[in-house]
Structure formats: structure tokens, C-alpha cells
Structure 1
């Protein structure tokens, strides 16, 4: 993906969003399994009617859903309800929520900031669950030989970040802590793969990123952590659903959450085994994955009042610095069947 800023309102245009995904993600990610782009734009409605009930799961390169996909247990849990599963891979939360907007994704997992950008762009989704805080699972990093030693030294520097991601909010709060205005840096809005390349070749001075990309940069590139999320952000991971799907199929949503909880209960005490399962799926070594897994949160929690208040804080902050175009009431995205 080129270094261009995506506009928040762009998520309203399903066709344009998926065209962007097709161009930037390649056949092995978001549109894999949907065939041609034309099929992707219409399949979520017509194909489901033709093939029976389908839960379209949006997942990323790392996390619970990719493990469930490999294990096949979600298909078994949903089968008695008459559902099959279609898996769609995305490089980050903002693109996954574009899939929700295009009716191509029914349930997915994202960081804490993508839902705010999505709600500002008119995506009709609901929060269905959360995972515990994981502030050490994202960080603002610099190359190992960088002269930058403090957040205040980021003024005027070029920083890579995926726009609308959890790491975008970390960058906002880190700069605030260092008394640097967001408008006082040069932002390079890049998806993780492109951001890593820019970081490795010295095209950017710093990178705000989450695990496992963070762990990989630390172990493979010798990246130095300027700050992680501790004391700055909670770094909550959310399970979200297309509102119309969650309303019509609450039984399927609850079944998905139950399977995720069962997996988390096992994974928390079997980190080495999870890393072994993830290694061939992610292309990362087990040491890198164990580092990332050691600082994640385990468990599937309801999105309570305190968590919604935190999301409101994110929304208000992003509006104040003009990263989103309007004020939000984040509880408008509360799932009534939670």
C-alpha cells in the first residue's frame, strides 16, 4: 500500500473499500475464498441464501480466530445450529471493519481504535465482547542504533502507523505524554508489512505497532522500545459483529464467543503449544510468538460500562485532534443481546 492517508468517510463506500483491499492485500488475504471482486461485493447476501446459513469470520494473521480456523472446532460448535463458517483474513482492524461495512464479514476481532473510526464512518456494527487489557502488547519502537531516547525527541520525525489501528491511539497518547503535538510529526500511514519494510530500510524514524509484529521487530531487527502502552492505553481487543447479523442470529454469536472462551482458557496455560500451532500459520518462529503471547490478555469478557467509557475517551480524543470528523456516542454500538 502506498503512503497515503485513508479518509474516515471512505468506509462508507463498500465498492471503493474492497477495490482498495483487492489492490493492496493480494489474493491471499481479505478476498481469498470469495473469488472475483464482483463476487466479494455481492456474495454475502446471495451466496448465503444459496449455500445455507454461513458465519463469515474476519480474522487477522495472529490471535484466537486463526487458531480456531486451524483446529476446526468452531465449525463443529456451529454445525448443530445449521451454520457453516467462511474465513476471511485481513491485515488489520480497519480493513476488517471495511469488510463488515461491505456485508462480507459477520463477526471479527479488532483492536480498540478501529471501531471508533468505523463508527465515525457509518459502519453498522456492535461490540459483542472484549478481551482483558494488554498494554504491553503494543509499543512505539525505534531502530536499535537510533539516537532518539525520549518521546519529546519525536517532534518533526517520520513515524509509521496503521491509520485507525490500536497503535494509532497509542501514538496519540505517547506524543501527548511527550508534549508533542500530533501535527508536529510526519505520519506515514502504512499497513504492517509496508511499515516494517520502511522501518527496516530507514525510511521512517519510528513505528507504532502491535504484536506479533512488535515481537518480530524486537527479535529480528533489534528494535528498541521507546514506550509500550503501560500507563498510556489499555489496549483492549474487541469482538465485533455486523449489527443485522448479531440481531438475527444471537445464538450463533453466543456460540462463537463460547468457543473463543474455551480456547482462551486452554491457551492461557499452554502458551508453548499455541506458539507451535501458530508458527506455520504466521511464518514466525515460536520464540517470537511466545514473547507476544506472554503479553496478551486471555478471556472473553462482556463490554461493561467502564470499557464503554474508555472507548468514549478514545472517540473524544480522536475528534479533538480531528482524526475523526464528528463526535460519537460509542454506546450506540452496544449489543442488546450481550
Structure 2
């Protein structure tokens, strides 16, 4: 849980032990003479794999280092501790971090169709509908305030249930994956590669985030310190445009992208193809429409006590980086 990271007793040494952080040669397009280095926060090598496979950073006039984490919570901790310049997450983890006092601004929106987030159950489970979740334990990955938790809260409300009608337990994705595979977990709200693996290891999709059940928005954010550095801010603006190019590349090179996921993440080829097809499709400025949609997410989660205090989404954005 990210709550009150401004006062969290997390040492930088311990923080760096959670991640592999270093410059990738293909990202160091400007050569060793560059005076600007962006330390880009990432989850499960998602952005790193994407930009390297697409060659999007070729010709960049700055250096890039990657700060890799298993989930959003430790990534936001890294930003708070000054170990990463940028954030990368779905909408609710970003809101949770802002509510918890992490000093950053969202600078660009990402968009997908919501299929990458889902609630899965064991194949032999007697849970056949969302209404069957009443009274059940549901494991949510990863920390309080994940996008999987929003999906759970939203579909419960849509089906006439209260959030208190289920018993929520939080587990990091890798721990939850192992428990689900061994049959210790019956219902699991998860996302991305963990959802794909869970379905491959005896899971059945109960419901996913498509058709507006989640907003489909994610965010790239930047620490207040990075935004106050004109050179880093300019480099970040360039990176966001290149990331948009990389996402466009995936739409016409899904096989190549899937191969890169296999090579860099060690994923099963079938899972890699699923992930390649579920990637965010574009990078967008944070418009009033984006802010309004994500504000609905914030308001729902605040109403059930998960997001406290609430966040003003529009005021938490810096729209000057990506016009």
C-alpha cells in the first residue's frame, strides 16, 4: 500500500534492491556525451521491451536508464525516493499514489480496451457470475488501489452488490499467481501478464474490464523534481512522442512485439501473443475528457473508502509536457 509515502521509512538502498536499474545500450542513443539521463519507471519490462523492439529511441539526444518493478506500488515508492523520474501505471494506482502524497504529476494518458484486466476463477469453481462473489474471498493484485480492485468494485456495484459483500485480500502478483496455480486461491482480480498466465494455468475468466467496466486509461507521470529540470522535461516530452510511435508500431508488428516479449521476459509464446494484442494503443494528452472519465474512477473508490483523501484528477496533471 502506498499510503503516506511522504513519511514512509523506506531507505534508498532497500528501494534499489527491489529493482534492476541501469542504462540499456539500445536506449543510449545519444552516446556517452549526453548530459541528460531519464530514469524511466517500468513494470515487468513492459515499456523497455516495447521501445527497444520498435527502435523508438534511436537518435534520442539523452540517455535512458530503466527502473524495473513488479508492480505499481514499489514504482511509486521509487519516484518518491528519487530513484526514478517517471511513473507508469493504470489510472487507479496513480490516483492512490497522489492521494498518498507522492510528489508527481501525470503528464500523458495511455489508452486500451480494458481486456487486460480481469477477475478469474478456478476452472472447477462454482462461481459463475459476479453475483456469486457475495460472501467470497477475492484476492486482489497487487496493493490496495490497483486497477484490478477498481474492476472488482465497479462490477459489484453494477450487479447490485456492495464492496463489503466480498472479503478482499491483497497479494503481490507473483505470490498470487503461485497460490492460484496451486489451488489455494479461488477468485483472483488481476491484470496483464498475470491474468494471461492465470488463465493458462487452469483459470477461467469471470469478467474483464472491457465495455467501460474500467476506464481503459493509464498514465505516464513525472516527479515534481524531474519536471522542474528544463532539460529533463524536454527529454520527457520527446520520449512521450517516441512512445506513441512505439505503440503505433505494435499495431502492425504484433508478431515481432510478441517475439520481443518472449526474449526479454521469458514469457510463453502464447502468453506473449496475448500481451502483444492487449497493449495500450496510443499516447494521449490529458484532456478534460480524460480527466472527467478518470474522476469517476476516483469518486467511486473514494466512496467505498479505498481512495482517501480523494484526488482532483485535472489538478494532478501537467498538460504542458505533451500538447
1:158 aligned residue: 137
Alignment match, 1:187: 168
Matched, 1:237 2:218: yes
Deviation at 1:85, TM superposition (A): 1.7
Deviation at 1:62, TM superposition (A): 4.8
Aligned counterpart for 2:151 among listed residues 165, 170, 178: 170
The answer to whether the 8 Å contact 1:160/1:195 transfers is yes
| C-alpha RMSD over aligned residues | 2.3
Distance 1:335 1:89, change over 3 A: same
Give the match for residue 237 of structure 2: 254
Q: Using a 3 Å threshold, how does the CA distance of structure 1 residues 20 and 165 change in structure 2: closer, same or farther?
A: farther
| Residues 108-147 of structure 1 aligned to structure 2 (within 5 Å) | 108-147=87-126
| Structure 1: distance between partners of 2:56 and 2:275 | 24
Residue 93 of structure 1 deviates from its aligned partner by 1.7
Q: Secondary structure at the match of 1:328?
A: coil
Q: Are the aligned partners of 1:129 and 1:239 in contact in 2 as well (CA < 8 Å)?
A: yes
Residue 19 (structure 1) shift: 7.6
CA contact (8 A) 2:131 2:161 kept: yes
Q: Name the CA shift for 1:121/1:20 in 2 (closer, same or farther; >3 Å).
A: farther
Work out whether residues 120 and 324 of structure 1, in 8 Å CA contact, stay in contact via their aligned partners in 2.
Answer: yes
Q: What is the DSSP-based 3-state SS (H/G/I as helix, E as strand, rest coil) of the residue aligned with 1:276?
A: helix
What 5-or-longer segments of structure 1 have no aligned partner?
A: 1-5, 35-50
Bigger fraction of residues in strand: 2
Greater share of helix residues, 1 or 2? 1
Deviations 1:18-59 (A, max 9, x none): 68757xxxx5x525459xxxxxxxxxxxxxxxx943211111
Rounded to whole Å, the distance in 2 between the matches of 1:55 and 1:199 is: 37
Please name the residue that 2:127 is paired with.
148
Residue of structure 2 equivalent to 1:3: none
CA contact (8 A) 2:117 2:209 kept: yes
SS at match of 2:185: coil
User: Counterpart of 2:236 in 1: which secondary structure?
Assistant: helix
Q: In structure 2, what is the equivalent of residue 101 of structure 1?
A: 80
Residue 225 in structure 1 maps to residue 225 in structure 2: no
What TM-score, normalized by structure 2, do the two folds share? 0.87
- Matches for 1:282-297 after TM superposition, within 5 Å: 282-297=265-280
On the 8 A contact 1:57/1:106 being kept in 2, the answer is: yes
List alignment gaps of at least 5 residues for structure 2.
24-33
Instruction: Determine helix, strand or coil for the equivalent of 1:129.
Output: strand
- Larger mean CA deviation between 196-205 and 168-177 belongs to 196-205
TM-score (norm 1): 0.83
Q: Is the 8 A contact 2:2 2:73 kept in 1?
A: no
Within 5 Å, give how 1:1-338 maps onto structure 2: 6=1, 8-9=3-4, 11-16=5-10, 27=17, 29-30=18-19, 32-33=21-22, 52-69=35-52, 74=57, 76-78=58-60, 80=61, 83-161=62-140, 162=142, 163-219=144-200, 221-231=201-211, 232-248=213-229, 249-337=232-320, 338=322
Mapped partners of 2:210, 2:199: distance in 1: 17
Map of 1:41 onto structure 2: none
Distance 1:288 1:336 in 2: 35
Q: Return the offset for 1:226.
A: 0.7
1:66-96 deviation digits (Å, cap 9, x = unpaired): 332567753x443x3xx32221111112221
Quote the Cα distance in structure 2 between the aligned partners of 1:18 and 1:166: 27
Aligned length: 306
The CA distance in 1 between the partners of 2:79 and 2:53, in whole Å, is: 23
In the aligned structure 2, how far is the partner of 1:107 from the partner of 1:14? Answer: 19
